[in-house]
Amino acid sequence: MLALSSPPIDSEDYLYELKWDGTRCIAFVEEGRVRLQNRRLLDITRRYPEFRDLPASLRASSAILDGEIVVLEGGRPDFRKLQEREHVEDPFRVEILSRILPATYVVFDLLSIDGKDLMKMPLVERRRILEGLFPLGENVILSEVYPRGKALYREALSLGFEGIMAKRKDSPYLPGVRSSYWLKVKGVMDVDAVVCGYLEGEGERRGLFGSLVLGLFHKGRLVHIGQVGTGFDARDMEVINKRLKRLATGSCPFEVEPRLKRRVFWCRPEMVVRVSFQEWTVDGKLRAPSFKGIRDDKGPEECLTPPSFPGSSSGPP
């Protein structure tokens, strides 16, 4: 289930939670085993061995949970540290990182329990049943709910969280649906964008990329929203460079090829990255963008221009 963007609100019709900056995850618990699936329906169980004991502590024989996988630093989610967990396939390194950078599964919804489908049930009823399943384990916590949105929003920003979620108490669970049942209220601007190519690297980045050429889908067309060339560490550069080589193509993925000042290499628009930025320019470009991480849990078709994008209507694109 997905959310629309919103300013802070206070309404007795909603429950309010902190917004956890991580990887969205559905957990299927059955017959003493757990299977983890991200929002692209990819199996990510092998990446998080710290959750394999979840079935033993669950107060049910089977369940389907919805939540967010995060790596906490000082009680706050650290998206960059989570990135170190997301792109590792070697089993030995996975085990080591599960001890060095342990992940936490923050559960906020319950879709099924003991074979009973709960998705048509109001959120408050699903929450009541969910709370009865805890405590689940050392690395699994329940996302707490609060009665006031504006106060929680201010407190969340002061503590370093990116914002809050507001969810209608009577909302059913609607897989894949983005509606006003769930609202996201964010204090920082960021966007998940499609990598469409890269500019040639210079100096210390010779042989690598200098910046990534980014795009979003606007009214069904892939449009250029600028480049990002900051925020990368050495590991980011290595991982992204390898992917760019696999995605290389000779044709521009935009309908209208942008004019760029340096040599550009195009790639198939399949890799998604998260970028923070100050604001949109009047011509629909990112001002002062900075790379935050790769989004393997999100597909390019989900990278749509937000309502704040110049030329967008007030509703979702």
With beta carbons less than 8 A apart as the criterion, state whether 252 and 224 touch.
no
19 is catalytic: yes
| Residue 126: C-alpha distances to residues 3, 64, 68, 184 (Å) | 18, 12, 17, 20
159 vs 156: CA distance, rounded Å: 5
Smallest CA-to-CA distance from 94 within 156, 50, 28, 146 is with 50
Residue 254: Cβ within 10 Å count: 17
Angle (nearest 5°) at CA 28 between 107 and 70: 35
91-100 and 79-86 helices cross at what angle (nearest 10)?
A: 160
Supply the residues annotated as catalytic.
19
